[in-house]
Amino acid sequence: MVPGSSRPTRTAAVWVAVAVGLVVLVLLIVFFVQNQDMVTVRFFGLEGSLALGTTLFIAAVGGGVLVALAGGARILQLRIINHRRQRSLAGHGTGTGPENA
């Protein structure tokens, strides 16, 4: 390591994450304020009026939930595969079986 330089700490990473989060929140507030027009929304026979910004935000969150569910399912699938692989590797070459006596 170069003298006088330091590695970023976890606290610094949290500080950066909070700052980025605040910027995103400010941008969302501006988005909502600029998109206050009322629109009619129809979904499975239901009908209602919402602000355009709110409607788009709900749609974006819904899309994010779908992506998170798909990603979570893939992570679970990979963990199961890894667990099976670890179990099969542990069963071979341990030296405790009758073939190694």
Amino acid at site 53? G
Q: What is the mean pLDDT of residues 19-23?
A: 94
User: Strands 38-43 and 46-51, how do they pair?
Assistant: antiparallel
- On whether the CB atoms of residues 58 and 41 are closer than 8 A, the answer is no
Torsion, Cα 18 21 26 27, to 10 degrees, reads 150
> Where is pLDDT greater, at 96 or 19?
19
DSSP E strands in the chain: the ranges are 38-43, 46-51
Specify the pLDDT at position 3: 65
Short-list 65, 47, 69, CA closest to 57 = 65
Q: What is the mean pLDDT of residues 29-49?
A: 90
Specify the pLDDT at position 41: 87
pLDDT tens-digit series, residues 71-89: 999 999 999 999 999 988 8
